[in-house]
Structure formats: C-alpha cells, structure tokens
Structure 1
Amino acid sequence: MNGPFDVHSDCTPDCAAHALPRVPAARIARRGAAFARTVRRALTDGARMAEPGRLRTHARALLDALDLRVEGPASLTAGDGPGTLVVVNHVSWLDILALLAVEPVTLLAKREVGGWPVVGGLARRAGTHFIDRTHPRRLPHTVREVSELLAAGRSVAVFPQATTWCTAGAGTFRRATFQAAVDAGAPVRPVTLGYRQQGRPSTVAAFCGEDTFAASLRRVLAARDLTVRVTAHPLLTPLDAGLDRRELAARAARAALGGRPVTATAGGVPRPAAPVPHAPPRGTPAHV
C-alpha cells in the first residue's frame, strides 16, 4: 500500500553523470581512504555526535575528505522564538552532510535513510527523526511531533519532495509537514541545494532510483571540482501572512525548486551565499 509520502521519481541511476573528466585513480584512492578514516572517527563519537558543534565538525570533515566544497549562508534558521522549518529539495545522500555543515538542525527523513551505509549510521546518531511511509496513520503523529519540536525552539529540516531527483527543479513539495509550521506559528525557510562542477550544473551527485550507495560513492570520489551550493531563500511566516499548509507548500516550492520568487518578509532576507569555512584535508589544496 502506498503511504502519504510515497512519490515516484522519473530519475534513474542513468541520470547521474560527470560534467568534467574524472580525477586520476590515485586521487580517487586517497579520497576513499580519507573518507573511510573520517567515517570511523565520526562513528566512534557515539551519542556526543548529536552536539551541534561536533555534528557540524563531522559533516565538514566528511565533505572535506571527498574534496566537496560547500557554499552557503552563515545560518538557515530565524533565531529567537519558534524553531524554523527548513524545507529542502532532495538530490543526494550528500544533502544531509551539506545541510549539517552549514547549520546543525534536527532532520526528518524517510525510514530508508536509516539503513543507508555510512549516512544512515550518522543520521541515527545525530538524532534524526525517521518517517515510516508504509503506515499512513502515523502521519498525524509525525506532524504533531515536528510541531512540538518547532514550538520548543528547535529547527527541523525536511525534504518535502519525499524522494530524490537528479536536478533541483524537478518534483514538487508534499504539504503534510507544512502543517507543523502552521500549528507552531513557525517560520519556513525554503532552501535549494545545487551541485556543480567548475560552475557547470552537474548530476554526478544524484542518488536516484535503484542506485546503490557504493556506486554513488564511486562517482563522487571520481568527481572533479564538485561544489554544492546551499541557497537560503527569504523566510515565509504563515501566521503573519495567513497562509494555510497548501499555499505555504506552494510558495516554498516556487522558491526552492526554481519557480517564481516569493516576497521577503521583514528580516527574512538571508545573507548572500559564501563559502562555508572548512579546514582543508591533508594533502589537498585549501578550499577557496
């Protein structure tokens, strides 16, 4: 039986392609070894990984090991008051690392993510809340849980497309989790994740269809000059604007998925994107 979060994507592993020639085999091997070491360090951190500072440090270290640069704002959340519902397009397992490298927030992800190699273990230790899409009767409980987190001042990041697509403009946003923002009177931050190689749009990071983690990791390890840009769009405030979840989801989707821009609320315009500060991995040039 299909659940309320079940969505079919037309994307397949064939969508994932390099926009530039692959890096040499020796560099692939160095990246793989560095990534494995960094994963081991992160997993041995245990429950402490959920601490925001440590979570950001681990996420940045994993991306550094892959030579994947992150460009993004200093923050995704609104600050004081209720937490922010951060709604993001979904391309790859790398999305989770990119978000946490910018700002550690509570993640809401499909149950299957918990079983993914590497990322699943990190997500569980980071305190991710998992959605079981096979039990639609759990949906009201999930919405209430997210609403309580937001009301308590904790920001939550969700992927309302409910599945991955190879580009940022595909799919649409499901409305259910937007009800949590309405109930909590919490602001919504639409966010776009876009992957590029030397400034060219790239699908090499896409993790779609029947793709495997091993195959996806091999592509990323071989990718030349891969960057993920985290674009924070103006805040949407459902209470001030009198928005219900349907209109809130539609406006967030227009912003995050490349449609018409939304009107910025007072104080809701994020800073321009800039490189997230990283410590360069050993043996590689500093990120710029």
Structure 2
Amino acid sequence: MSVWLPVAPCTPDGCARHTGAVRAPLPAALLLLAGCALVLLGVACVPLVRLLGAAPRRGLTRSWARALPRAFGVRVTVRRHAPEAETGGELVVANHISWLDIPLIASVLPGRMVAKSEIRRWPLLGPLAALGGTLFIERDRLRALPAAVRALTAALRSGSRVVVFPEGSTWCGRGGGAFRPAAFQAAIDAGATVRPVRIAYRTAEHHGGPAAGAVAFVGTDPLAASLWRVVRAAGLTAQVDVLAPIPAAGENGRRALARRARAAVLEPEVPLRSRQTTVASDRANRPAASVHH
C-alpha cells in the first residue's frame, strides 16, 4: 500500500462495538436474512433496471437504497437544507463511517459512486457496483491519480452526479480525517458544484448524541461481524443532512474547497429536537427545504 494513502486510527477493537440495548438473537437473525435477501434482489434486478430510462432507474435505485437500511433494522432520518440540483454535474462529498453510508447516500442523492478498484473483485457487491456505474480508481498508485481526476471530471462534465468519500477511509465518527483534494480538482475543472452531506448514527439511550460504534466498519473488521453488530443494535437511527451546495468556482483552489466542504460536514450538529423545530420553521419560511423520515 502506498504511504500517501490515508490511514484511520480507528480499529475494530478500539471503537467498533455496541454497548447499548440489543435485540435478541432470533429477531436480529431475521433482520440479517431480510437485509441480505434485499441485497441479492438488487443484484438480480440490476441488468433489468439498466434497460429503463434515467428517471425510473433513479426512482428504483432510491427505493431499493431507502429500504436497505430499514431491512437491517436501522431507522433513517433525512434533512434537506437546500433543494436538490435539477441539472448539471454535482460532486457529492460525505464523511465515511460504515458500509451503510453507501445506501444512505444513494437513497437521497443517487449518483455514480467512486470506489477503490479492489471492490470490483468482491463477490456480489463488485458486480453490483460495476453495473451501477461505479467509477473504480487505483488508490494505491499515485501515478494513477491524474487519470482518476480526468475520469471524475468527464463524468461531472457529462452532467452526472458523482459521490465521493474524500476522507479516503472509514472512520468511527470521532472527527474524521482530512478531505483529500483530488476529487475537488475534478469539480473545479468541470465547473461543477460540491454538495456536502453529513452522516451520523444515533441510538435512543444516547439522547441524540453520537453512537457510531455499532455501525463503524473500520480497519480489518470482517463484514460479517459488522452486519451482526448492526442488526443486534436496538434503536439505531441514521441521520443524513443534505447541506447547501458550494460552487467550485468560488474557492481559491482545490485545497480551500476541500477545507470548506469538510468544515460544513463536520460542523457541530443541532440536537434532533431542535432540528425538528427548525425544520418546522423552515417549511413555513422556505418551501424549498424538506424533511423525510
């Protein structure tokens, strides 16, 4: 692995654990079966879905991605701080905690995901990602970076929405890492906007505070162990904040753009009850904003 790649200090033993209320093994096993069955259904349907037009394809993708966290027992709350872009390329950037982040983003802002090239070889998920238009990049070769930036730029110029986790690795929800600037250069070159998205996970006993341990998928954590932690965690909620877009042309270079996007994503969050009050006010004063549960 190249020394320039980001490495998170988070480890399975250090932070990938759940200490709150748990489901009994049988209900948890049923959720695990339901979630895996939905994944398999998505894999089976991809070839047929690709034959549809863009609008119905986006609708079905959103419906499947919205159902997936719920199938694994995770409630989802979404708040939109600005309306969704109707046309033009858009670079969606989010913090990265778990494999759950991917369907969460796809449920609110479906687009072409950027992933490391190794995922193409994963069973089931690899073919699913490839058929879904994922842009695979070789993260361990610095010389491949310019080609990756060009591929992202071309996708954005074509009007596609491209989804990136610019921390470059999963973190356990404790501040995260720096946003790598390469993808932001693609947004600048394409004249696209940058859409920050904040992802957080909560459990009831934390009273609105962070509880990413159950969903954190870090280091050498086996996927099977992560899946079992998720379905065993009771009262788990994923909160997704779709933030206001940032024009790429308005910042002084890719590093400044990356810092601004990171600041928006990692900004201290308003407690959930305060958010709901704010949302009610937003609906009265700004019809473009909306909340979905």
Q: TM-score, normalised by structure 2?
A: 0.83
1:125 equivalenced with 2:131 (yes/no) = yes
Cα contact 1:87–1:189 (8 A) shared by 2: yes
Aligned to 1:144: 150
CA distance in 1, matches of 2:117, 2:123: 13
* Aligned-partner residue type, residue 232 of structure 1: V
The 3 A distance-change label for structure 1 pair 168 and 152 is farther
Aligned to 2:244: 234
Q: What SS does structure 2 have at the residue aligned with 1:201?
A: coil
Cα contact 1:195–1:229 (8 A) shared by 2: yes
Aligned to 1:197: 203
* Aligned-partner residue type, residue 197 of structure 1: T
Cα contact 1:86–1:191 (8 A) shared by 2: yes
Identical columns (%): 39
Q: CA deviation at 1:77?
A: 7.4
Cα contact 1:168–1:192 (8 A) shared by 2: no
Cα contact 2:195–2:243 (8 A) shared by 1: yes
Aligned to 2:163: 157
The 3 A distance-change label for structure 1 pair 3 and 127 is farther
Q: What SS does structure 2 have at the residue aligned with 1:193?
A: strand
CA distance in 2, matches of 1:168, 1:124: 31
What is the Cα-based RMSD across aligned positions, in Å?
2.4
Cα contact 2:76–2:239 (8 A) shared by 1: yes
Q: Identify, as 1 or 2, the structure richer in helix.
A: 2
Aligned to 1:286: none
Q: CA deviation at 1:117?
A: 5.4
Q: CA deviation at 1:212?
A: 0.6
Write the deviation string for residues 220-251 of structure 1: whole angstroms up to 9, x where unpaired: 11111111111122211122x24310100010
Q: CA deviation at 1:30?
A: 1.3
The 3 A distance-change label for structure 1 pair 99 and 167 is same
Aligned to 2:10: 11
* Aligned-partner residue type, residue 247 of structure 2: T
Q: Where in structure 2 are there 5+ consecutive unaligned residues?
A: 51-56, 270-286
Cα contact 1:28–1:222 (8 A) shared by 2: yes
Q: CA deviation at 1:33?
A: 1.9
Aligned to 2:272: none
Q: CA deviation at 1:214?
A: 0.6
Aligned to 1:174: 180
The 3 A distance-change label for structure 1 pair 141 and 255 is same
Aligned to 2:222: 212
Q: CA deviation at 1:79?
A: 2.0
CA distance in 1, matches of 2:65, 2:81: 15
CA distance in 2, matches of 1:220, 1:183: 39
Q: TM-score, normalised by structure 1?
A: 0.84
Matches within 5 A, 1:86-101: 86-101=92-107
Cα contact 1:12–1:210 (8 A) shared by 2: yes
1:251 equivalenced with 2:250 (yes/no) = no
* Aligned-partner residue type, residue 21 of structure 2: P
Write the deviation string for residues 178-219 of structure 1: whole angstroms up to 9, x where unpaired: 001101111101111101112342121000011010110110
Q: Where in structure 1 are there 5+ consecutive unaligned residues?
A: 261-268, 276-288
Q: CA deviation at 1:149?
A: 1.2
* Aligned-partner residue type, residue 221 of structure 1: V
The 3 A distance-change label for structure 1 pair 129 and 48 is farther
1:110 equivalenced with 2:116 (yes/no) = yes
Write the deviation string for residues 101-145 of structure 1: whole angstroms up to 9, x where unpaired: 112111111223334555444322311111111222221111111
Write the deviation string for residues 133-169 of structure 1: whole angstroms up to 9, x where unpaired: 1222221111111111111111111010000000062
Q: What SS does structure 2 have at the residue aligned with 1:177?
A: helix
Cα contact 2:81–2:243 (8 A) shared by 1: no
* Aligned-partner residue type, residue 136 of structure 1: L
CA distance in 1, matches of 2:73, 2:146: 40
